[in-house]
Amino acid sequence: MKQKIPIFFLIVLVAFSECKTMQAERKVDIENETPQQYEARLKWWQDARFGMFVHWGPVSIKGTEIGWSRGSQVPIDEYDSLYLSFNPTNFNANFWAKLARDTGMKYLVLTSKHHDGFCLWNTKYTDYNIMNTPFGRDVVKELAQACKRYGIVFCLYHSICDWYHPDYPLGSPGGKTEKPNPNMDRYNTYLTNQLAELLSNYGRIGILWFDGDWEKPWTQERGIELYKTVRRLQPDIIINNRVGVGRQGMAGTTDVGKFGGDYDTPEQRIGKFQIDRPWESCITICQQWAWKPNDKLKSLKESINTLVRCTGGDGNLLLNIGPMPDGNIEDRQIERLLEIGDWVKKYGKTIYGTRGGPYITTADIASTRSGKTVYIHILKWGDSEYLKLPPLPATIKKAKLLTGGRMSVYQIPEYVQLFVPEIFRDEIDTIIELELKTSAMEIPPLSTLPKSLTTGKKAEASNVYRGMNEFGPASAVDGDSSTRWATDHGVTNGYLQIDLGTPQKFNYVAIEEAYPGRITNFELKYLKNNNWITFYKGKHIGGRFETSFPPIKAQHIRLEILNATEGPTIYEFQLYNKD
């Protein structure tokens, strides 16, 4: 019997299709987006604060790094044939989306195509895609649908560089070879056509997370054009700063005044405190982006510390997992994610929908705020019984220890003093909720660090870039993070030494490395009876390294760089006495 559709449903159906058409035709004036429109477009993401990054592909069969192991640990022919045996029959998109939700993550970014050129969706522009594997299912489609089902915003990572595609000029290993007959214009068309597929056929894409922006063939002009193309396809989409070429390496910041997409992308480090431009740190839960057997897994404490310090700095955290070749996620990674989720379930109100500050994040403390409330996250206690903070230009109405127990707060114009008995201090994060009489949102950033003891002091170094004064050691102690001490190309070790003038007591260090990642092994030393005594040993400095340590009294201090991949260079070397 012919099923009659009640008139009511017909009206809804027409309205829905009209709305779909309108959405598709809604024009946006990208060139003249107002600050208010920009903020409104990014609001869901800035409120979300926490997302899941997923690096996956046939390379997981080898357990080596996606893209980078092609032509290095894995011969190119072998790497490019892995898809012929890629059959992740345990892949369950609903499980991945539910895991993200249960971890407290609000969005998920999947590598649709990494530098190795393999496509995780049913694309008609290359056969090198998931449909031509034994698995033969559209992973992007299934994950997009599952994310919608679990209320997770689905987003895509897409590599601009493509070491597989014959038209992209550079190839493996690592972009260090040249293709015989490249054609960048033709490649750009391929790139744009594939993005059009992804942005037209899989529903709303929350973020386009570009990458592979650093190689010569890509230009700022192409990046600006690509940004506009993507926004025309999905006007409300958010695009990171790796669409152009303005990103400052792994620090992920964008040169002021340069086109930098919608937000900054510090990588494998906690971004610096930055409230005037949105940012998101992308960090692996292990060491490698793609799955690696027995990779080192971050502890719960380090994971929460990272989330809190990103949020405290007014940024997001995109925490990466690498699924296995059968489509499962490692049990130990699932366990860690669910432990993080338990923490977020208890304290998520200090993360979601908050903004960073007013106290500037350090290794010991972070703060977030919303309305008339400031959340103080104490990550590391000093020796003192109290925590003394710079004065708050707002009256504290009441204080509460969210992590349980009792505390007291004492506020005078000169400072805010918090007392939490040792037994109530949380091993991971002691959270204090301060309710103010007035809004917390307009309070200017407050530094909990006193003036650095090194600012303006005499400095010397083992090597200076071409002997140029502007790159001399004084640039690392001038209190200006835009100047730097630099060394010559090819230098792999050396030292920066500061004379404080007289013996000084200090218990906290902050070091900002330019071109983060170059320094791979360093020590901090002080001079005592003409001997250099090591008081700290570290591996990476990264965008900003800071730590406290038991108090030392000395006049001469040295940053000894034992190993660097290229000429080490330091923006600032700061010492403090935080007591």
Give the residues lining the site for ligand FHN (CB under 6 A).
66-67, 211, 267, 282, 289
Minimum Å gap between C-beta 159 and ligand FHN is: 7
Three-class SS of 2-51: CCCCCHHHHHHHHHHHHHHHHHHHCCCCHHHCCHHHHHHHHHHHHHHCEE
Residues 348, 397: Cα–Cα separation, whole Å: 22
The token pair that represents 574 in the structure block: 């700061």
As measured in angstroms, the least distance from the Cβ of 267 to ligand FHN is 5
Residue closer to ligand FHN by CB (options 261, 494) is 261
Question: Running DSSP on this structure, what letter comes out for residue 392?
Answer: P
Between 80 and 267, whose beta carbon lies closer to ligand FHN?
Answer: 267
Q: Which residues of 249-283 are buried (b: 16+ CB within 10 A; e: fewer)?
A: ebbbbbeeeebbbbbbbbbbbbbbbbbeebbbbbb
Cβ nearer to ligand FHN, comparing 104 with 252? 252
- Based on CB atoms, which residue is closest to ligand FHN, 64 or 483? 64
CB of 174 to ligand FHN, least distance (A): 9
- Residues 144, 522: Cα–Cα separation, whole Å: 44
Residue 517 or 568: the one with the smaller Cβ distance to ligand FHN is 517
Residue 60, C-beta contacts closer than 8 angstroms, at least 6 positions apart: 66, 290, 291, 322, 323, 324, 325
Contact 86, 58 (CB under 8 A): yes
Q: Give 562's contacts (C-beta < 8 A, 6+ positions apart).
A: 493, 521, 522, 523
Min dist CB 66 to ligand FHN, Å, is 6
Peptide bond into 358 cis (omega under 30): yes
- Is 228 in a helix, a strand, or coil? helix
Angle in degrees, CA 120, 126, 128, rounded to 5: 55
Supply the minimum distance, in Å, between the C-beta of residue 228 and ligand FHN.
23
Question: Residue 127 Cβ, how far from ligand FHN at the closest point, in Å?
Answer: 24
Largest distance between two CA atoms of the chain: 100
3-state secondary structure 230-260: HHHHCCCCEEEHHHCCCEEHHHCEECCCCCC
Distance CA 464, CA 570 (A): 11
Angle, nearest 10°, between helix axes 300-312 and 331-347? 50
Query: Measured from the CB atom, is 267 or 429 closer to ligand FHN?
Result: 267
Smallest separation, CB 363 to ligand FHN (Å): 23
Long-range pairs for 123-128 at CB < 8 Å and ≥24 separation?
123/194, 123/197, 124/197, 125/190, 125/193, 125/194, 125/197, 126/165, 126/190, 128/80, 128/83, 128/164
Residue whose CB is less far from ligand FHN, 67 or 327 = 67
What is the nearest approach in angstroms of ligand FHN to the Cβ of residue 311?
Answer: 19
CB 250 to ligand FHN: min, Å: 6
Complex with ligand FHN: residue 298 or 377, whichever CB lies closer: 298
Own/partner contacts of 285-289, CB < 8 Å, gap of 24 or more, are 285/319, 285/320, 285/321, 285/333, 285/336, 285/337, 286/322, 286/333, 288/65, 288/322, 289/55, 289/65, 289/66, 289/320, 289/322
Residue among 268 and 362 whose Cβ is closer to ligand FHN: 268
Cβ of residue 242: shortest distance to ligand FHN, in angstroms? 8
Q: Which residues contact 239 (CB under 8 A, 6 or more apart)?
A: 207, 208, 210, 227, 230, 231, 261, 262
CB of residue 173 vs ligand FHN: minimum separation in angstroms? 12
Nearer to ligand FHN, 66 or 459 (CB): 66
Q: Which is nearer to ligand FHN, 110 or 146 (CB)?
A: 110
Rank residues 205 and 282 by Cβ distance to ligand FHN and give the closer one. 282
Query: Considering the complex, what minimum distance in angstroms separates the CB of residue 310 from ligand FHN?
Result: 14
Which strand (E) or helix (H) includes residue 207? strand 207-211
When the beta carbons of 211 and 264 are compared against ligand FHN, the nearer one is 211
User: Shortest distance, CB of residue 243 to ligand FHN, whole angstroms?
Assistant: 13
